[in-house]
């Protein structure tokens, strides 16, 4: 809901967002990022984030077992998130200095210092915290990002006690070999790190990168229904890897068959109708392959 919608110029009404959130929550996914606590003049789509969290906190509205997260970029955003009762706070640093300046108005070094202080503050208040390294696999402005720069940021997070870390491919530059190497390098920092991966499909390698990360031991992925999304402050914005496509891929391996792909596809179809455009995902158009077992005997059906 956050990365998926933030780049769309047509504002989605709050009631429609709530309907999508509740249907996605009902599909069996583990987490939903509801929105970001940012300046609405810079990202108008996120202007109702406080209201969404307030409405979702109403008695009987939240689905058990689903975690609602919110993104913050600075201290003011964290204050809003804390006041709104957000249980899981996400914050991050770009490994690209250029992207960092465009996204937050801060250098990577300054942003890292501030995010660590904010993360500690949120932990002290009893919140779950995820810290991310954005542009971890490359940058549309700066090109290749040295792996050492990413590892150094992660090391600082871990030293501060922030061990839930997302590696974000903000510009979609990652390739499977690079993904495997980066995850190996980050794992070497500490055995306590819980890695999440966040890929964009800018150059068509999104699903391949998810597969490479999964084979490297990553079990948490941030994805966007319909393949919506993209950071407004990168050189070439493109959508997230599509939620229903990723779930369908995993279910072909008998992984996470508890998630209802059809429910996610219904949200995607409604979003396509709302925005009056075709969305880049695949499974909402083709439907899933019927599951008959990966090694079923053709003679026995």
Q: What amino acid positions are annotated as catalytic residues?
A: 231
101 three-state secondary structure: helix
Residues 6+ away with beta carbon under 8 Å from 2 = 33, 34, 35, 36, 46, 70, 71
Comparing CA positions, the residue from 221, 186, 190, 189 lying closest to residue 206 is 221
Residues 6+ away with beta carbon under 8 Å from 6 = 36, 43, 45, 46, 229, 230, 231, 232
Of the chain, the end-to-end C-alpha distance in Å amounts to 40
Comparing CA positions, the residue from 29, 120, 37, 19 lying closest to residue 67 is 29
Residue 212, both tokens: 């490479």
| Cα 58 from Cα 36, distance rounded (Å) | 20
Residue 189, both tokens: 């920092």
Residue 177, both tokens: 């070999």
Q: Residue 229 — φ and ψ, nearest 5°? A: 120, 180
Secondary element (H or E) of residue 244: helix 243-251
């Amino acid at each position: 809901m956050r990365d998926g919608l933030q780049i769309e110029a047509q504002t989605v009404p709050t009631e429609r967002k709530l309907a999508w959130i509740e249907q996605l929550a009902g599909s069996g996914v583990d987490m939903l990022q509801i929105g970001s606590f940012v300046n609405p003049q810079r990202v108008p789509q996120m202007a109702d984030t406080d209201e969404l969290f307030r409405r979702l906190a109403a008695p009987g509205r939240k689905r058990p077992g689903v975690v609602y997260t919110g993104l913050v970029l600075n201290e003011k955003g964290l204050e809003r998130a804390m006041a709104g009762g957000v249980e899981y706070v996400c914050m991050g640093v770009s490994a690209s200095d250029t992207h960092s300046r465009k996204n937050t108005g801060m250098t990577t070094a300054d942003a890292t210092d501030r995010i660590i202080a904010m993360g500690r503050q949120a932990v002290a208040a009893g919140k779950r915290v995820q810290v991310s390294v954005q542009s971890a696999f490359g940058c549309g402005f700066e090109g290749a990002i040295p792996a050492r720069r990413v590892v150094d940021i992660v090391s600082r997070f871990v030293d501060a006690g922030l061990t839930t870390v997302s590696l974000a491919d903000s510009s979609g530059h990652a390739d499977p070999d690079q993904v495997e190497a980066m995850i190996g390098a980050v794992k070497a920092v500490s055995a306590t790190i819980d890695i999440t991966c966040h890929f964009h499909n800018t150059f068509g390698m999104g699903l391949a990168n998810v597969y490479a990360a999964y084979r490297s031991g990553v079990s948490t992925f941030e994805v966007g229904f319909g393949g919506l999304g993209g950071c407004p402050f990168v050189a070439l914005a493109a959508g997230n890897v599509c939620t229903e496509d990723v779930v369908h891929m995993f279910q072909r391996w008998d992984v996470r068959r508890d998630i209802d792909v059809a429910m996610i596809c219904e949200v995607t179809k409604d979003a396509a109708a709302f925005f009056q455009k075709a969305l880049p995902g695949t499974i909402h158009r083709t439907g899933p392959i019927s599951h008959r077992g990966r090694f079923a005997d053709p003679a026995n059906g």
